[in-house]
């Protein structure tokens, strides 16, 4: 990895006049060699893809390729390094980089002349995203999206990071600078860059080599996880660690189901604070992706399907544990939002709503983050007038003339208000001298008027691809909601979603489950998390309906999961099958914004073992936990979802590693 230092040193000392000269040459090339008549240029190949994210870049001047052999063959034939840009439809900074760099003719000319450029939707290809994210985190200490990686023609990475501005700024080198320097280094010393890449790949492949599965499972890891959560807990505002704060539903689910009351209280307090904050949509329901501040006030505004499913699941468990109706109410509002705004008429759920949208219906100017959800004082006055209703809304939602989004780290929300629950109904009634019934009526009326005004704005774009794993999460949560809340409509929705996924995304002739679907077109074959999450959803649906067809299909998926992804040597599940095209076959133990396949698999396998009496499922769950526990001994809090089922696995004899 020592050559990386040389690369970055070279970049940072490159003279400004040289950079300007490179950019001038690039601009000259872009205009001096126009495309021949009828020849397609730019990112047109992406228009042929099913991913809405890829299609957004089809009109870029960058000669984008989708991930595939065509791009790698071109790189090998022309001996060019590869530039891999990974993002997703609702990613704000992905759109910023697209606008600043990938629509820039000069930067496009540099990319087209010296590199083969590949655009990847991380939600459609989580395997590609995970492999290169492992590299970026290992070499830079942090990751995120958009992800920018430079690799050999064979795809082995030698440099990577996240967002880069066109020119140096924000403490980062600029894209012009990086591309010019890497182009020179590839021409002058390609062997050194190849050696850097080979060393990095070798290091990453060895990450799991020394893991020896636990010989027995005890309560040590759950106890250590609870201590780790307590050490990072924000006693004032809930959540764990500093801003930005993510909902982290796997952690909340683990803590909620602990026998330790202090752990349960941490989770309940966090759920209360989230429900009162701007991360929770106070007008329409639904959870935004994360909070930029420690008080849950100013969110990053995209709404992801997996958050709706998993966070609603946490509120349902909180209701089951406490029987406090406010948790049921939040869960119901989140699920109703998803059914209203993310639901395909045929039964599947779309992936997300974007953070960015147009400020005006004429769509002049670029899209802005949060403009659909936030309020200026003028907009509030226009919706409610200057009297008591505006004063009520200001008191209820903490809105001011100057704007309340003061913690926005980049100042993008200047002058805007993000509604949060500043006062509850009792406090409002007292302040405005109303009885509780009248206060409730006014609250509902104000909310409806604000919602009507907001829905008159240009809508936020929808990523309308249906992802199997996330629909599996939603099936689980809807089935659970139907039983706990005694509302059959949620079970009916879960049933419709399960039928849709099995009809549209499962090829029963080939026994292949697909990752995604959009407008009648299947995307790529599924990954292990798709099989595991859908299997868990179908098992849960069987438990609430008693319909044996769901159990049979869950077994079918679990058997495919075991056949294609099982690690017969150490236990646990790989993300990709043995014939993966990637240089890294990842095996993930940690939960992130979504759940680790190994955690979900333990849930599904234990349920299947109990429901069918097939000991093989239970044994595979034991071995998965033994591997994951060894992998995460120093940070057991990272595998929270698996730890929920840990007590069922303790003090039992572990089976031999017989595959």
Residue 116: inside a domain: yes
Looking at residue 656, its pLDDT comes to 56
Residue 556: inside a domain: no
Domain identity same for 194 and 70 = yes
Q: Say yes or no to pLDDT of 106 above 90.
A: yes
Q: Say yes or no to pLDDT of 26 above 80.
A: no
Domain identity same for 33 and 155 = yes
Q: How far is CA 598 from CA 300, 491, 565, in A?
A: 28, 26, 11
Q: Say yes or no to pLDDT of 388 above 50.
A: yes
Domain identity same for 76 and 173 = yes
Lowest mean pLDDT among 127-136, 358-367, 396-405: 358-367
Looking at residue 651, its pLDDT comes to 61
Domain identity same for 439 and 477 = no
For 49-69, what is the mean pLDDT?
94
* DSSP assigned state of 287: B
Residue 598: inside a domain: no
Q: Say yes or no to pLDDT of 105 above 80.
A: yes
- Answer for the pair 545, 491: CB distance below 8 angstroms, yes or no: yes
**pLDDT band for position 5 (cuts 50, 70, 90):** very low
Q: Say yes or no to pLDDT of 207 above 80.
A: no
Q: Say yes or no to pLDDT of 8 above 80.
A: no
Handedness of CA 179, 180, 184, 187 (dihedral sign): positive
Looking at residue 640, its pLDDT comes to 97
Please name which of 572, 502, 515, 558 lies closest in space to residue 126, comparing C-alpha atoms: 515
Looking at residue 29, its pLDDT comes to 35
**pLDDT band for position 140 (cuts 50, 70, 90):** confident
Residue 481: inside a domain: yes
Looking at residue 359, its pLDDT comes to 85
The DSSP bridge pattern shows strands 82-87 and 299-300 to be unpaired
Residue 303 is inside which H or E element, if any?
strand 303-304
Lowest mean pLDDT among 8-22, 31-45, 402-416, 599-613: 8-22
Q: Say yes or no to pLDDT of 3 above 80.
A: no
**pLDDT band for position 14 (cuts 50, 70, 90):** very low
Q: Say yes or no to pLDDT of 406 above 80.
A: no
What is the C-alpha separation between 201 and 188, in angstroms, rounded? Answer: 22
Q: Say yes or no to pLDDT of 320 above 50.
A: yes
The DSSP bridge pattern shows strands 516-518 and 466-467 to be antiparallel
Looking at residue 24, its pLDDT comes to 37
- Two structure tokens written together for 348: 């599947």
Residue 119, Ramachandran bin (φ over 0: left; ψ between -120 and 50: alpha; else beta) = beta
CB atoms within 10 A of CB 532: 28
Structural domain of 494: 465-546
Strand partners, 356: 369
What is the C-alpha separation between 262 and 417, in angstroms, rounded? Answer: 34
| Domain edge (last residue) among 546, 569, 599 | 546
**pLDDT band for position 467 (cuts 50, 70, 90):** very high
For 21-36, what is the mean pLDDT?
38
Counted domains in the chain: 4
**pLDDT band for position 659 (cuts 50, 70, 90):** very low
Domain identity same for 441 and 478 = no
Secondary structure class of 157 (helix, strand, coil) = strand
- Tens digits of per-residue pLDDT, 451-464? 999 999 999 999 99
| Domain edge (last residue) among 437, 461, 485 | 461
Residue 637: inside a domain: no
Q: Say yes or no to pLDDT of 7 above 90.
A: no
Residue 589: inside a domain: no
Domain identity same for 470 and 396 = no
Domain identity same for 59 and 150 = yes
Domain identity same for 168 and 89 = yes
Domain identity same for 456 and 471 = no
What is the C-alpha separation between 175 and 164, in angstroms, rounded? Answer: 6
Residue 271: inside a domain: yes
- Two structure tokens written together for 563: 């056949």
Residue 33: inside a domain: yes
Domain identity same for 454 and 483 = no
For the chain, give the mean pLDDT. 90
Looking at residue 34, its pLDDT comes to 42
Domain identity same for 151 and 17 = yes
Contacts of 67 (CB under 8 A, 6+ apart): 118, 120, 125, 128
Per-position DSSP letters for 411-475, written without gaps between them: STTTT-B-----S-HHHHHHHTT--HHHHHHHHHHHHHHHHHHHHTSPPPPEE--EEHHHHHHHH
Domain identity same for 384 and 482 = no
- Tens digits of per-residue pLDDT, 500-555? 999 999 999 999 999 999 999 999 999 999 999 999 999 999 999 999 999 999 99
| Domain edge (last residue) among 402, 429, 461 | 461
Looking at residue 173, its pLDDT comes to 87
Q: How far is CA 521 from CA 44, 123, 352, 509, in A?
A: 19, 16, 18, 17
Q: Say yes or no to pLDDT of 32 above 50.
A: no
Looking at residue 303, its pLDDT comes to 97
- Tens digits of per-residue pLDDT, 323-380? 999 999 999 999 999 999 999 999 999 999 999 998 887 777 778 899 999 999 999 9
For 268-290, what is the mean pLDDT?
97
What is the C-alpha separation between 157 and 176, in angstroms, rounded? Answer: 19
């Amino acid at each position: 990895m020592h050559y990386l230092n040389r690369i970055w040193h070279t970049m940072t000392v490159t003279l400004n006049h040289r950079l300007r000269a490179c950019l001038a040459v690039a601009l000259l090339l872009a205009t001096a060699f126009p495309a021949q008549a009828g020849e397609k240029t730019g990112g047109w190949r992406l228009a042929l893809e099913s991913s809405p994210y890829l299609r957004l870049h089809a009109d870029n001047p960058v000669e984008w390729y989708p991930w595939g052999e065509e791009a790698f063959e071109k790189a090998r034939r022309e001996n060019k390094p590869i530039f891999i840009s990974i993002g997703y439809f609702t990613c704000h900074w992905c759109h910023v980089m697209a606008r600043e760099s990938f629509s820039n003719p000069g930067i496009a000319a540099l990319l087209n002349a010296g590199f083969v450029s590949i655009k990847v939707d991380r939600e459609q290809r989580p395997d590609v995203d995970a492999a290169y994210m492992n590299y970026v985190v290992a070499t830079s200490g942090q990751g995120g999206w958009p992800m920018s990686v430079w690799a050999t023609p064979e795809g082995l990475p030698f440099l990577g990071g996240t967002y880069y501005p066109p020119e140096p700024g924000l403490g980062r080198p600029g894209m012009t600078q990086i591309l010019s320097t890497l182009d020179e280094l590839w021409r002058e010393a390609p062997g050194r860059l190849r050696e850097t890449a080979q060393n990095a790949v070798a290091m990453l492949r060895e990450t799991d080599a020394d893991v020896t599965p636990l010989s027995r499972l005890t309560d040590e890891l759950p106890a250590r996880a609870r201590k780790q959560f307590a050490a990072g807990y924000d006693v004032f505002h809930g959540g764990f660690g500093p801003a930005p704060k993510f909902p982290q539903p796997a952690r909340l689910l683990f803590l909620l189901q602990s026998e330790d009351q202090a752990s349960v209280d941490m989770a309940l307090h966090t759920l209360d604070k989230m429900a009162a904050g701007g991360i929770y949509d106070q007008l329409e329901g639904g959870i935004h992706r994360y909070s930029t501040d420690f008080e849950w006030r100013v969110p990053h505004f995209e709404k992801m399907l997996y958050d709706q499913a998993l966070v609603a699941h946490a509120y349902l468990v909180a209701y089951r544990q406490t029987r406090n109706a406010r948790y049921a109410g939040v869960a119901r509002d989140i699920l109703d939002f998803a059914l209203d705004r993310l639901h395909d008429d045929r039964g599947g759920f779309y992936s997300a709503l974007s953070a960015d949208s147009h400020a005006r219906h004429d769509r002049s100017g670029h899209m802005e983050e949060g403009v659909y959800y936030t309020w200026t004082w003028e907009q509030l006055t226009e919706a409610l007038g200057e009297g008591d209703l505006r004063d009520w809304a200001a008191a209820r939602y903490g809105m001011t003339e100057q704007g309340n989004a003061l913690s926005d780290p980049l100042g993008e929300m200047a002058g805007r208000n993000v509604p949060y629950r500043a006062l509850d109904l009792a406090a409002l009634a007292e302040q405005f001298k109303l009885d509780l019934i009248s206060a409730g009526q006014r609250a509902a009326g104000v909310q409806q008027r604000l919602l009507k005004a907001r829905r008159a704005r240009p809508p936020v774009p929808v990523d309308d691809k249906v992802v199997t794993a996330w629909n599996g999460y939603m099936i689980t949560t809807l089935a659970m909601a139907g039983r706990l809340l005694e509302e059959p409509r949620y079970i009916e929705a879960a049933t419709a979603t399960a039928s849709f996924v099995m009809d549209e995304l499962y090829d029963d002739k080939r026994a292949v489950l697909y990752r995604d679907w959009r407008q009648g077109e299947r995307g790529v074959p599924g990954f292990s998390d798709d099989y595991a999450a859908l299997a868990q959803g179908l098992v849960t649906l069987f438990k609430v309906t008693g319909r044996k067809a769901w159990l049979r299909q869950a077994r079918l998926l679990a058997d495919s999961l075991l056949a294609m992804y099982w690690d017969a040597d150490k236990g646990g599940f790989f993300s990709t099958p043995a014939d993966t095209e990637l240089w890294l076959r990842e095996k993930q133990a940690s939960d992130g914004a979504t759940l680790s396949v190994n955690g979900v698999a333990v849930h599904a396998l234990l349920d299947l073992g109990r429901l069918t009496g097939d000991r093989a499922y239970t044994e595979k769950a034991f071995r998965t936990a033994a591997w994951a526990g060894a992998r995460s001994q120093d940070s057991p809090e990272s595998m929270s979802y698996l730890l929920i089922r840990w007590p069922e696995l303790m003090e039992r004899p572990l089976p031999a590693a017989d595959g």
